[in-house]
A = this chain, B = another copy of it.
Amino acid sequence: MKLLDGIYTRRSVRQFTEEPVSDEQVKEIIKAGMWAPSGLNNQPWRFAVVKSDEAREGLAGLTKYGKVIKGAPVSIAVFVDREAMYNDVKDHQSMGACLQNMLLAAHALGLGAVWLGEILNNAEKVRELIGLPETLELMAVIAIGHPARSDQKSSRKDMSEVLLKEI
* Residues in chain A within 8 A of chain B (CB atoms): 1-8, 10, 12, 27-28, 30-32, 34-37, 39, 41, 43, 45-52, 55, 79, 87-90, 92-101, 103-105, 107-108, 115, 117, 120, 130-132, 136, 139-140, 154-157, 159, 162-167
Contact = CB atoms under 8 A, between A and B. Distances in A.
A89 B92 contact: yes
A93 B45 CA distance: 13
| Top 4 A-B pairs, shortest CB-CB distance | A96-B96, A93-B96, A97-B100, A92-B92
Contact of A3 (B90, B105, B159): B105
Tallying the copies of this chain within the complex gives 2
A27 to B, nearest CB: 7
Given A10-B35, A93-B96, 11 more contacts: A7-B101, A8-B32, A36-B100, A41-B154, A41-B155, A43-B157, A88-B92, A89-B120, A92-B92, A94-B96, A97-B97
A148 to B, nearest CB: 19
A108 B166 contact: no
Nearest to A118: B39
A32 B47 contact: no
B100 A164 contact: no
A157 to B, nearest CB: 6
Nearest to A31: B159
Contacts of A87: 117
A47 B162 contact: yes
Q: Choose among A45, A99, A162 the residue with the greatest number of B CB atoms under 10 Å from its CB.
A: A162
A136 B46 CA distance: 31
A53 B37 CA distance: 28
